[in-house]
Amino acid sequence: MASTLPSPDSPPRIGQLIQSLRTERGMTLEDLSRIAGVSKSMLSEIERDKANPTIAVTWRLANAFGMGLDQLFASTLDTEPAIQVMNIHETPTLNGPQSNYQLKILGPMHLAGKFEWYGLDLAVAGALCSNAHDPGTEEHLTVYEGEVTIEQGTHQKTVKAGETARYRADIDHAIRNAGETPVRALLVVIHGG
């Protein structure tokens, strides 16, 4: 079965979006034609993806919907059914000193500073030490392989494979490999504020 998803190299499907926005607002082709100053026949061609509008025409249509071009193009992403898959080589990775840890940034960048999740690999004797985050910030660490010790202020707790620890991260804290094998874990950070 052929895919109905556009390739990443194909232009956005403006026609579907224009028709969807027009329908949502209860506008006829004639209404949109009058407001945007674009002929009804041209609008019909655009909506059926038989014609590609110029930037000037797209700008007029966006204005007719009370949007800027950036908002219009951003909303094309919302209307396209898509599954985004990141290749392992595209995943941003932070390496600790002497390669004693590796932190893979799994969450999207637009959520950074609010809600973040990471794949954490700790070498034997490796540690991820962090200064206090914003007030109210929490971390949730699920250990998949190995064993860690979480240090939070004067408190320490051992977390084994299959266990999850939840703790305040608005004070200095550290995650240390407490065993004799590498650690693999998922770290979720929920920022306060």
Question: Which residues, given as ranges, of the chain have pLDDT below 70?
Answer: 1-12, 75-82, 84, 193
* Residue 119: domain span: 88-190
**Distance between alpha carbon 183 and the CA centroid of its chain, in Å?**
26
- Same structural domain for residues 67 and 115? no
What's the pLDDT at 6?
A: 44
Residue 25 domain flag: yes
Judge whether 143 and 160 are in contact, CB under 8 Å.
yes
Q: Contact at 8 Å (CB) between 106 and 121? A: no
Choose the final residue of a domain: 27, 44, 79.
Answer: 79
* Per-residue pLDDT at 7: 45
Task: Say whether both 97 and 178 belong to one domain.
Answer: yes
Does any domain span residue 123? Answer: yes
Asked if residue 170 and residue 106 are part of one domain, the reply reads yes
Tokens 């700790």 map to which residue? Answer: 122
pTM of the model: 0.58
Statement to judge: residues 122 and 167 lie in one domain: yes
Residue 145 belongs to a domain: yes
Torsion angle of C-alpha atoms 138, 142, 147, 150, degrees rounded to 10: 0
* Shared domain check, 75 and 24: yes
As for how many domains the chain has, the answer is 2
Same domain, 71 and 102: no
97 domain residue, yes or no? yes
Residues 184 and 100 in one domain: yes
pLDDT digit string (tens) for 4-35? 444 445 556 788 888 888 888 888 888 888 88
User: CA-to-CA distance for 132 and 134, rounded, in angstroms?
Assistant: 7
Assign residue 57 the CATH number of its domain: 1.10.260.40
Same domain as 153, residue 115: yes
